Amino acid sequence: MKSLYTIVFAFILTSTAFSQILDFRFYDANGRVYNSTTFNKEIISRDNIGLDECIILLETTSLYDSLYFQQNQILDLLDAESLQLIYITACLAEEYKDGYHTTIKTANNLIKPGTRFRIRLLDNNAGVVFESYEVISKEIITQVFSSNQEFLSDFLMEDELKPDNVFSQFKQYDFSGLFSHTENYRIYGIIGSDHQRIKIKLTSIRKGSENPAEYFVSGKSNVSGVICDFNGTINILKIKEFEKLHYGVDNEHVNEGIKAQGILIADYEFKENPQQNHSGSFKGILYSKWYLNADHQIQYDDIQSMSDQYMNNAFTGIWRSYSTGEEKVCNWADYRVPLANQDFDVGAGEFSPGEKYYDKGWRNYQHAWLYGNKEAMEEELREWWK
């Protein structure tokens, strides 16, 4: 089996594994040897073919394990040729000779003791950006990874990023103010393929004292009036600066002494209270825009907020039910919804959900802001988390 995938930035999951580089050897079906950290360069050098491939690493105790088998079936359903990713099998029992694989010795070094199955996504530098001990659905993979490049382009608008991760230069700053900056009625979210409305409120955000990348979060979720408490973490993975500073319409901020601008990329995991109805966990990647002002303070970057497609604090990921294990796409952001169906947001100058989604929790929103209904406005502005 062969599967290829393109991804610009990572999606989900376990925060402890992120930023780890996996440097290991693997082989193709013809026995040629590669290194995970230099794979693309090796292909370019040998075959004169330009690649920018990422890796799905499947770790299993047996090639006949049911979880491994299920995941391979899902990967076979993907549109492999239109994507750019290879996947590699690391098995403790035997080598997978029909495709990319490691030796048993390498598998023993990669696989955590006691692990039955794990899927890890590596970026094109072999950095771990995704980890799950359960089978990941085709819908989740396709929705997240095939849309990321277009999403990032939309999120950045016309800004371009410098290539380096400069987290070490900014780790002394507190970014917590970014994540709760926007009034809640301007934060829009969806859960599930039918784009049911979800409301999210982060009620407390605190930077950790020991790890400068870790922020402790408390909050609440609301789907059709079912409210759940949650706690969790945001872990900064990357900080990248823009190539050029932007100063807004007519350069109105040009004389304010802005020192730097860029985006923050983090993973998050929020766990709802399992004692509450319809509870689960949120996992994904967060993209936030920031700037460093003249007083060397981190500020929420709303300089381009007058632009039609502006959004910030884009949480892109999944929600997983505790009771059923069902996964649903779950994305929310300030001012727009990231990675939504093409026909979902029909607004030009500002967010406006299409009529076909009204019965998914969006009717009141339109009655409030499109038709000016007073009662609907009051409901939109209500502090439902208190």
Residues 216-250 pLDDT 10s = 999 999 999 999 999 999 999 889 999 999 998 88
Task: Report the sign of the C-alpha dihedral through residues 311, 372, 356, 358, in that order.
Answer: positive
Distance, in Å, from the CA atom of 188 to the CA atom of 263, rounded to the nearest integer, reads: 20
At residue 13 the predicted structure's pLDDT band, cuts being 50, 70 and 90, is: very low
pLDDT tens across 340-374, in order? 998 999 998 899 999 999 999 999 999 999 999 99
Predicted confidence at residue 33, as pLDDT, reads 94
How far from the centroid of its chain's Cα atoms is residue 85's Cα?
Answer: 18
CA atoms within 13 A on the CB side of 216: 6
CA distances to 20, 23, 83, 212, 340 from 128, rounded to whole Å, are 5, 11, 19, 20, 26
Residue with tokens 């796409």: 329
Tens of pLDDT along 88-127?
Answer: 999 999 999 999 999 999 999 999 999 999 998 787 778 7
Q: What residues does each domain of the chain span?
A: 15-146, 157-381
Beta strand spans in 224-323 (E) = 226-241, 260-272, 280-292, 298-300, 312-321
Q: For residues 61 and 111, what is the distance between their CA atoms, to the nearest angstrom?
A: 9
Encoded tokens for 185: 């009625």
Look at the domain 15-146 and name its fold: Glutaredoxin (3.40.30)
| Single-letter amino acid code for the residue at 327 | E
Phi, psi (rounded to 5 degrees) for 346:
-100, 5
* Cα-based distances in Å from 314 to 35, 68, 317, 331, 336: 34, 32, 10, 7, 9
